[in-house]
Structure 1
Amino acid sequence: MKHFSISVIAGDGIGPEVMREGLKVVEAAEKLHGGVRFSYESYGWGCDYYLKNGMMMPKDGLDQIRDSDVILFGAVGAPEVPDHVSVWELILPIRRTFQQYVNLRPVKLLKGLESPLRHKTHDDLDFLVVRENTEGEYSNIGGRLHEGTPYELAIQNNVFTKFGTKRILEYAYTLANKKQKKNMTIATKSNAINFAMPFWDEIAKEIAGHHPEIETNIYHIDALAAYFISKPEEFDIVVGSNLFGDILTDLGAAIVGGLGLAPSGNINPDFHYPSMFEPIHGSAPDIAGKGIANPIGQIWSVAMMMDHLGLTVLSELIIQSIEEVLQEGLVRTPDLGGYSSTVEVGEAIVHKFKHLSQFV
């Protein structure tokens, strides 16, 4: 019997609504497959906690979740709390303290959906974006000077270390071999960012040299963004810095149906700390409480969690269940042109998952 512990942080806005549907899939997986057991503990951290306590999580919050196998996260953010507080005091400390240096996001056109790029097929739109998650352009180094005067200035420093750059690139190539992908695309902007990006490129070429079996292309970020639209079928694995990866993954989500569908993993590949899995859609306060949020991003994040834990069959069954529900077209939330509720979509996927599990 395999046992895995999950720390659940539903967070804000639609986070608790989609998390409930994600946990239904986890519970169904445990009931249908007797060789695995999941236990989870929920933590009510987020903006409501901040408004009551002046902090996004307790001072010992990281210690409370440190020993779990994985973390399932919903969403963070509320109009009453500045984004730089909610993000920098909850998500980023988890990512950095637990060395979740890989942010992994699949860009996959699910069967049953049409892309805004309708001339492309489901096989054309199916690649992975690997984003460096702990340094780069989002490093917490800089400051402001002469605040409140005409001379006020702000400095935000980008930080690229050889250690951090090498490990994210090496992970990307390892992933390419694991997934039997033969094409690697590396994002840069060395023609304009003239210190950090040439440094990144040098290390990229060094690591690429260790993997001659994989075709490697290095593109400037502006051209690469355009190629996501004009020729997405050329990509297998895309790897970029923190900022470039952030931009590319949201663009990738847009071309396969929208942010409401997109999952992500914040991964510590060494399993020294728990990894965290979350949808990328945010807290969407405008629809919170209406019961119409799309739970697919959260449920797909559960599938990524299963894959990370070595439960590949369960991961594949969850994705197949999502696709078959979408292909039937009977149950869809408003963002996909339907009239169904969050609960109805979640229950349809769970029902499909139970049905498909009979044949495994």
Structure 2
Amino acid sequence: ATQGVGLPAVRQLPSPQTPHRNRVANRKVAQSRTYDDGRFTSCSEGPTSTYRHIMSTSTRSYTIAVLPGDGIGLEVMPPALRCLETAATLCGFQFNFKHYEWASCTYYHKHGKMMPDNWKELLQECDAIYFGAVGDPATVPDHISLWGSLLLFRREFDQYINLRPCRLIDGVTSPLANRDGKQIDFVTVRENTEGEYSSIGGRIFEGTSRETVIQNTVFTRTGVDRVVRYAFELARSRPAKKLTSATKSNGISITMPYWDERVEAIGKEYPDVKVEKYHIDILCAHFVQRPHIFDVGVGSNLFGDILSDLGPACTGTIGIAPSANLNPSMTSRKDVDPKEWMPSLFEPVHGSAPDIAGKGIANPIGMIWAGQMMLDYLGEKEGAKLVMTAIERVLGAAKEEQKLRGGKSELLTPDMHGSGTTEGLGAAIENEMSKLVQK
């Protein structure tokens, strides 16, 4: 990853199968440089007193499906879109946002289903999917809302990688004592299309004393190998070159030993990467007690889901955590038959949070950070760096505010022990982006 002077690195999303190509051919964009104060300027200018950014005349344009979904997804999406639009304006590209109300429980109440029949064709017209959250368990059972939308996206578009960075950013207080950003900085790679979340199974003898419920776990060699190999590639790209595998082969005696076998076999292709494996129960304990020992973790669908929620909680709040649902084999929509194109999806880790929905206090950073990952995926590295730097600067400013106000902050949202609002925090990040790029 490229690191600006005095700024933490913004890591790229690797594609083990095919290096990512920009979606617009013959792209010509001036390279840029980050100076000590974090502002950006074109390299062709050299250091100047004004740190101007020369906006590209390129016509790079990306079509994005916007699905806010339910609950706080409807609230965090608007400020996140404004941050993306600001990045596009400042870095010389364009977005065409296609807004859809489906993949929501509101749509379900109106139509008796989560999505229209042509949902797949509509999403295949887009370079990526920007998703808020889904779920209203008081009115629609979670297995209906989730299997009728998000899990369907993951399977139909073969988004077999779920990538979730976990980093303690300066300005956010961890519930773990004496921890800082240097001690919590890892990535969880989760298998996203099979494993424990299969749809194979059923019930028999319902309503009787013999009632039996079975749901099968499904591991395929293709499915396991591709996620494990992706994790090894990611570990190799990072300084620590370390991979931790989540297992439970002492209790789950068929599928988990197979998982361990494939990790060991593929690991022979990466002699420069140190590999450790832990049973999921003790691994959860280590995530809390020793987060500094982890760099890249890989797990099955269930274990990866558990770890990638626990990790952000160790950084202070799940509200800032982003997630990318990737199909690394799909690198350019223009090179694929429209009927075969499978876009990737970007979302915050947090759910619809009906307990705080409508109050305007949801943390927008998870949604904004997910957008940053989408920019990186689209090849807009400078825009991705700009968004991440703005997030870090705003959280750093909030830390200084807390020092002056006895630990209180009017900027941070309640999940970060502040009294701020969704719109206020989102606007602060958007404004910081403009400050970083002075015309």
TM-score when normalising by structure 1: 0.97
Measure the CA separation in 2 of the matches of 1:311 and 1:226. Answer: 37
Q: Does 1:145 align with 2:225?
A: no
Name the amino acid aligned to 1:40. Answer: F
Partner of 1:73, secondary structure, is: strand
Tell me the number of residue pairs that the alignment of Structure 1 and Structure 2 aligns: 358
Deviation at 1:18, TM superposition (A): 0.2
Deviation at 1:312, TM superposition (A): 2.0
Name the amino acid aligned to 1:38. Answer: F
- Give unpaired runs (5+ residues) of structure 1: none
Given candidates 379, 394, 402, the residue that maps to 1:325 is 394
Match of 1:284 in 2: 353
Match of 2:426 in 1: 346
Partner of 1:172, secondary structure, is: helix
Match of 2:171 in 1: 112
Match of 1:193 in 2: 252
| Aligned positions of 1:16-31 closer than 5 A | 16-31=74-89
Does the aligned pair in 1 maintain the 2:236–2:272 contact within 8 Å?
no
Q: Does 1:42 align with 2:99?
A: yes
Measure the CA separation in 1 of the matches of 2:356 and 2:261. Answer: 46
Measure the CA separation in 2 of the matches of 1:140 and 1:358. Answer: 52
Match of 2:19 in 1: none
Measure the CA separation in 2 of the matches of 1:195 and 1:244. Answer: 16
Cα deviation, 1:311-344, whole Å, max 9, x if unaligned, reads 2222222122112111111511111111111111
Partner of 1:30, secondary structure, is: helix
Does the aligned pair in 2 maintain the 1:15–1:74 contact within 8 Å?
yes
Name the amino acid aligned to 1:93. Answer: L
Partner of 1:293, secondary structure, is: coil
Match of 1:221 in 2: 280
Given candidates 178, 187, 192, the residue that maps to 1:133 is 192
Match of 1:63 in 2: 121
Name the amino acid aligned to 2:106. Answer: D
Does the aligned pair in 2 maintain the 1:67–1:273 contact within 8 Å?
no
Say what the alpha-carbon RMSD is for the aligned residues. Answer: 1.2
Deviation at 1:13, TM superposition (A): 0.7
Measure the CA separation in 2 of the matches of 1:204 and 1:194. Answer: 16
Partner of 2:256, secondary structure, is: helix
Given candidates 275, 285, 298, the residue that maps to 1:239 is 298
Does the aligned pair in 2 maintain the 1:108–1:126 contact within 8 Å?
yes
Partner of 1:327, secondary structure, is: helix
Match of 1:211 in 2: 270
Deviation at 1:310, TM superposition (A): 1.8
- Give unpaired runs (5+ residues) of structure 2: 1-57, 331-340, 402-410
Q: Does 1:294 align with 2:363?
A: yes
Q: Does 1:159 align with 2:218?
A: yes
Measure the CA separation in 2 of the matches of 1:181 and 1:9. Answer: 36
Deviation at 1:115, TM superposition (A): 0.7
Partner of 1:282, secondary structure, is: coil
Cα deviation, 1:87-137, whole Å, max 9, x if unaligned, reads 000001101110100001011001111211131221110000000000000
| Aligned positions of 1:177-188 closer than 5 A | 177-188=236-247
Given candidates 180, 183, 193, the residue that maps to 1:124 is 183
Q: Which has the higher helix share?
A: 1
TM-score when normalising by structure 2: 0.80
Match of 2:311 in 1: 252
Measure the CA separation in 2 of the matches of 1:332 and 1:270. Answer: 38
Larger Rg computed on CA atoms: 2
Partner of 1:110, secondary structure, is: coil
Deviation at 1:180, TM superposition (A): 4.1
Q: Does 1:337 align with 2:417?
A: yes
Measure the CA separation in 1 of the matches of 2:208 and 2:311. Answer: 41
User: After TM superposition, where is structure 1 displaced by more than 4 Å over at least 4 residues in a row?
Assistant: none
Name the amino acid aligned to 2:306. Answer: I
